[in-house]
Amino acid sequence: MNSMIDQVYSLPKLVRESFQSFDNGIRNTLDHRLCLSLKRIFLTGCGDSHHASLNAELAFESLAGLPTEPMTALQFSRYGVGFLPQTGPGTNAVIGISVSGEVSRTLEALQLAAKAGATTIALTGTPGSRIALAGEVTLFSTTLPFPDPPGIHTPGVRSFAASQLALYLIAIRLGEVRGALTSIQAGKIRSELLSLADTAEQLIPVWDQTARQLAEAWADAQEFVFVGGGPNLGTALFSAAKILEASGDPALGQETEEWAHLQYFARAVPTPTFIISAADRDLSRIVEVTVAAKAVGRRLVSITSAANKAVSDIVDATFSWPADVRELFSPLIAAIPAELFAAHRAEVIREPFFRDFSGGRSTEGGGGISRIRTSDILSEIKL
């Protein structure tokens, strides 16, 4: 039994079960006054929550027509919040994302954002949590329980999908109220987003076999690199995070252009490199990077839209989804191959998830000595 794979297979059902409740909560909570007053959005969180915010930036800017800036919670709270644009009440919204609702840095970001005059919106899976209570407005990404087997802690798969889904629905709501989308357009886009559950359901069994084969074939690998840009930069970072959590291997998420400036020169020639693209704005550069990676000897995987036909003969394996999936929604699908690969990698090398919390790690307090939930919280804005 592999609980991480079980969670991946549960994702289509999760999207179907959560979609309407998420959408109703968002539409009932984000009123017209708030939606119409906004001039800028800041998205902030840690770990997977930050990755989800990176993936959602294009959706907010395309669908809601609002300049949107995703920032890690530390960068926002310790460096950015003191310099928010002074554009008047209700014009800056800070969305703090935390599934547990207890991450100290995200709580700090919301508290300091409120002091700076921003409207604070908490997006969390945990009612009654500190972050749920800290938001001027609170939205919930709560999902039905999917318990781990006894003694097993599984890397986050469902929570990441839930956060992404909720962020997309927030963007659609803002766009509809602000007139960037008509009601008919918004309804069609919601239906399109929901239909990705069917797409994922069809793809997961096929992708699972490929991921298993790669994990077995590349059991000798010592490190992994994931490359993505635009809305899939967050996917690349998230994918590397799942490797680290599942098998403990060194893994790096890198932006597509930056790979060409940096990882191209890495000494470890056969490093498995997963190149993620929705084959849209980034397509020409993705093709160039793939060719370059092949030329220097990397083992290559393409995670991409079926519209990307230029690299199929270059890479060792391909995970592709239908060409009609919008680039801005592609992260909901694009994260799945790495989730499956990470789960199989841990199984193949017989490494327990999170390295069984050994060597000073702990499940208490959100990470033990790393103090994710009990870290010191600043109470004043620093300029």
Binned at pLDDT 50, 70 and 90, residue 363 comes out as: low
CB contact at 8 A, 66 and 76: no
Position of tokens 């209570």? 133
- Find the angle CA(145)-CA(334)-CA(155) to the nearest 5 degrees: 40
194-240 pLDDT, tens per residue? 999 999 999 999 999 999 999 999 999 999 999 999 999 999 999 99
Lookup: tokens for 330: 């592609």
Could you tell me the end-to-end alpha-carbon distance of the chain, in angstroms, rounded to an integer?
A: 51
Q: How far apart are CA 287 and CA 289, in angstroms?
A: 6
Calculate the alpha carbon distances from 67 to 59, 62, 77 in Å. Answer: 11, 9, 19
Burial of 101 (0-12, 13-18, 19+ CB in 10 A): buried
Give the mean pLDDT of 74-84: 96
Give me the pLDDT at residue 88, please: 87
Binned at pLDDT 50, 70 and 90, residue 1 comes out as: confident
Q: How far apart are CA 277 and CA 299, in angstroms?
A: 17
Give me the pLDDT at residue 166, please: 98
Give me the pLDDT at residue 209, please: 98
Beta bridge partners of 251: 224
Binned at pLDDT 50, 70 and 90, residue 352 comes out as: very high
In single-letter form, the type of residue at position 346 comes to A
Give me the pLDDT at residue 77, please: 97
For the cut 70, the answer to whether the pLDDT of residue 364 exceeds it is: no
Give the mean pLDDT of 343-367: 82
Give me the pLDDT at residue 210, please: 98
CB contact at 8 A, 72 and 50: yes
Lookup: tokens for 147: 């318990």
Q: How far apart are CA 169 and CA 134, in angstroms?
A: 22
CB contact at 8 A, 93 and 114: no
Give me the pLDDT at residue 367, please: 59
Binned at pLDDT 50, 70 and 90, residue 147 comes out as: confident
CB contact at 8 A, 26 and 170: yes
285-335 pLDDT, tens per residue? 999 999 999 999 999 999 999 999 999 999 999 999 999 999 999 999 999
Q: What percent of the chain has pLDDT over 90?
A: 90
**Cβ contacts of residue 342 below 8 Å, gap of 6+?**
4, 155, 239, 242, 243, 245, 246, 247
Q: What is the DSSP letter of 154?
A: P
Give me the pLDDT at residue 359, please: 62
3-53 pLDDT, tens per residue? 999 999 999 999 999 999 999 999 999 999 999 999 999 999 999 999 999
Give me the pLDDT at residue 48, please: 98
Which range (137-151, 302-316, 348-362) has the least confidence?
A: 348-362
- Claim: this prediction has a pTM higher than 0.95: yes
What mean pLDDT value characterizes the chain? 95
Binned at pLDDT 50, 70 and 90, residue 362 comes out as: low
Give me the pLDDT at residue 382, please: 80
Domains, the chain, in order of start with CATH, read 3-194 (3.40.50.10490), 203-351 (3.40.50.10490)
Lookup: tokens for 166: 């909720």
Give the mean pLDDT of 257-267: 97
Q: What percent of the chain has pLDDT over 70?
A: 97
Binned at pLDDT 50, 70 and 90, residue 345 comes out as: very high
